[in-house]
Chains A and B, each alone.
Chain A
Amino acid sequence: MPEPILSVRDLRIAFDAKPVVHSLSFEVAKGETLAIVGESGSGKSVSALSVVDLLPGNASVTGERQLNGRDLTRLKPSEWSALRGNQVGFVFQEPMTSLNPLHRVGRQIGEALRLHQGLRGQAARQRVLALLEQVRLPRASELIDAWPHELSGGQRQRVMIAMAIANRPALLIADEPTTALDVTVQQEILALLKSLRDERAMGMILISHDLNLVRRHADRVIVMHRGEVVESGPVATVFGHPQASYTRTLLAAEPEGRPAPIAEAAPLLTATQLSVAFERPRRGLLGKRPPPFVAVQPLDLELRQGETLAIVGESGSGKTTLASAILRLLPSQGEITLGGVALHTLSGAALRRQRRQLQIVFQDPYGSLSPRMSVFDIVSEGLRYHQPELDEPAVAERVAQTLEEVGLPPDCQARYPHEFSGGQRQRIAVARALILAPTLLVLDEPTSALDRTVQKQLIELLRDVQARRGLSYLFISHDLAVVRAMSHRVLVLKEGEVIEQGDCATLLSAPRHPYTQALIRASSLEDDLTR
């Protein structure tokens, strides 16, 4: 094994005397990618941040850390600052918030050069331009003067990478660098990181929860679970012959199974020539109003009872807008019929009465439950409004039944959302929707904020509920593995337009449109399909 750049021995981290990482040892060599995988809360980010002393003040870190033979445990604060961004580069998860919105892109990269190399003026600008070209930012000479909000997520992440490598670091730490990006962009960014690593002989630590990414892009892997190393070794060995049972659970956590076949039935939901357009603001006070922005082009849609229709597309493709329009939460043109009722003609109280027929589960398990209400209040609220004739015991009975149906313990009713994990919160959100006995449930990326193992459980729950109640799902997702496990039919959206639709299995195995093909290639479905 070549000489290690970073070596860590017996690293222990505690927050306020509560241990979060128990005993971690690893080495990163030149030109090598070490992946740390684990679910949220496993301590993987904390471990990487502790290497460069970026933890909050109440953390205590012990253990040996050596970078290029230099002992890191005895550094003074000023020496730390000289080290960070210079010998160690960082790429964070959130490209939307890691850049300062008030500084131009070029200036932010230039700052790292100025601080560590003393480059100024034209010399710095030339370097920045070279860096932006290295990270393959398109139109680099133009975008060097762009504001962060003018860039897409993938472009911002490229800028972040340019900042991280500006000072030729020996070690690059990438903390979930692609989690917030679309699948097709994810692959490009990881390929870029890999080629940069090879060009500059950097060591790289890749932190991720996505096993598919790790399998493709790392050399060695450490699997962490609740602060302990469960397993480590070369990627091929760990993934090919996992020793620890936890690793096997993680590997088996890929969504599997297929939705139950459905009987022929009349359509429950039909949308005809449905489209959504947003008015754009006038240019100037008296200027002409530009033509409206069409988020969803006119489309037709049909959903039978007990059927799941997946709407697939990248961010900005209009899939959530489409769902909001069907829910009549957004004004739209066209006709929407649900169970024989023409929803588009209703408004006010009549529309509100119909709303119990179609419910929604949102993506963010943290934002979709009111933090000030107990679980009982959250779940019972809709029922109390739509069926005021029910007395207190009857409501309590229904709440208990519904919570049981979604697999939550009955004693959770008096508790508040913050006491639950992401998966449990999503179950509460499902219970809140189910208690109204809807016929259609809109699932807006219900699994994408969850860990794979939790995802799998939620998918199974949703399939069970569908089989039991004969519910129809409108399932919005960008994750094709989940889509395959959930849906009967698929509709692919790109920039508000339907580019392909059809039976799920057929469409995924033989996509016709190049965009669909790219999506499938990017989401690593192919490996599974051919396996």
Chain B
Amino acid sequence: MRLFSRPLSPITRRRLAAFKANRRARYSLWLFAILFVISLFAELIANDKPLVMHYEGQWYFPLAVDYPETEFGGFLPTRTDYLDPFIRDQIDSHGWALWPLIPFSYQTLDMQMRVPSPAPPDARHWLGTDDQGRDVVARVIYGFRLTVLFALALTAGSTVFGVLFGALQGYFGGKVDLVGQRITEVWSGLPVLFLLIVLASFVQPGFWWLLGVMLLFSWLGLVDIVRAEFLRARNLEYVRAARAMGLPARLIMWRHVLPNAMVATLTFLPFLFTGAISTLTALDFLGFGLPPGSPSLGELASQGKNNLQAPWLGITAFLTLAVMLSLLVFIGEGLRDAFDPRHRHATATPEADHA
């Protein structure tokens, strides 16, 4: 565990201090992290099944196990619908149940509605329901998680490909660079949106499909940055010293050049991330994104557009996206400043004598 026991390098420490000194970025990071962690446990917060149940002296865990309705005095050997008033009465009279905070999942259709959907906010549905009678809060929580996970996966994938191609082009330069640059130029000329729309007409794109197709193009933005960093770093004296030492190219790139290039890459990541979120939302909004029924913020936005008489839909979608993207932009700003050597900190001392 040498990696963790050693002290942080002074540069890293200075950057951490710079990031911490930026209050807006720090609070944004905390807020975003808390929201994300909460949304990771969406099943425990918004679900149409009780978390734990005590029924006729026995323990049940509906969250993990599917019980047939006959268990609870029903007639059909199908999966129990715990929101059914009959089942609820049964549970109340024979034991108790611990329900999640929001007793609806993202695809639960509320059958006990007294108003036509989309229903306005009330005590039962805090942000109302959408035009199919699904709880908006539950959909936002699940949608947030799905969007962030998608963006995370896309960003991670793009980083791996972008850094790999950029590093090879920059480090070896010459013909490798020339050919690589031309290929990426041609590749980046392909219209991604049209490709996705064409694709949507013959396959039903799921999470992984979308991720794969977008991954084919999203790494292109990073290549130029990483390539430039590698081009610059390969002539630094400590890189030349490593070459003179006889280290193979992969080790030099990994140990000596990559840490330099990672600065530019890290600064770029939040913007890749927000870009991924916007693209996914836009596709969902247009109806070429995730399959119908998935909890998607873009779909919520499009419902808001189609149901202008139900403003809670549009406002919720807008606010969720706005808050999420703003937090990410603030975090990105903080990161960029922390990594910017020209950014003056209170701790920095000028050279006493430049002779």
Contact = CB atoms under 8 A, between A and B. Distances in A.
A and B form one complex: yes
Interface of A: 15-16, 18, 20, 40-46, 56, 58-59, 93, 175-176, 207, 209, 327, 329, 349, 351-356, 358-360, 362-364, 367-374, 381-382, 385-386, 414, 416, 418-419, 429, 432, 436
B258 to A, nearest CB: 10
Contacts of A329: 240, 243-244
B237 interface: yes
Interface of B: 6-7, 9-11, 236-238, 240-248, 251, 255-256, 259, 349-350, 352-355
Contact of A15 (B238, B243, B247, B350): B350
Given A175-B355, A364-B237, A416-B10, A381 B255 contact: yes
Contacts of B355: 40, 44-45, 93, 175-176, 207, 209
Given A45-B353, A209-B355, A356-B246, 9 more contacts: A15-B352, A20-B352, A46-B352, A58-B350, A176-B355, A352-B247, A359-B244, A362-B241, A367-B237
Contact of A360 (B7, B241, B259, B353): B241
A18 B246 CA distance: 45
21 contacts: A41-B353, A43-B353, A46-B352, A93-B355, A207-B355, A209-B355, A329-B243, A352-B248, A353-B246, A354-B246, A359-B245, A360-B240, A367-B237, A368-B238, A372-B9, A372-B259, A385-B245, A418-B10, A429-B241, A432-B245, A436-B245
Nearest to A351: B246
A289 B354 CA distance: 43
Nearest to A435: B245
Nearest to A417: B238
Contacts of B247: 352, 381-382, 385
Contacts of B246: 351-356, 382, 385-386
B6 A414 contact: yes
B256 A370 contact: yes
User: Which A-B residue pairs are the 7 nearest by beta carbons?
Assistant: A355-B246, A368-B237, A352-B246, A382-B245, A367-B237, A362-B237, A370-B238
A374 B10 CA distance: 10
A444 B343 CA distance: 34
B238 A355 contact: no
A480 to B, nearest CB: 23
B349 A15 contact: yes
Contacts of B352: 15, 20, 41, 43, 46
B241 A368 contact: yes
Given A56-B350, A175-B355, A352-B248, A414 B238 contact: no
A93 B354 CA distance: 9
A182 B11 CA distance: 35
A93 B351 CA distance: 15
Contacts of A176: 355
Contacts of A382: 245-247
Contacts of A18: 349
A176 B353 CA distance: 12
A369 B242 CA distance: 10
A372 B259 CA distance: 8
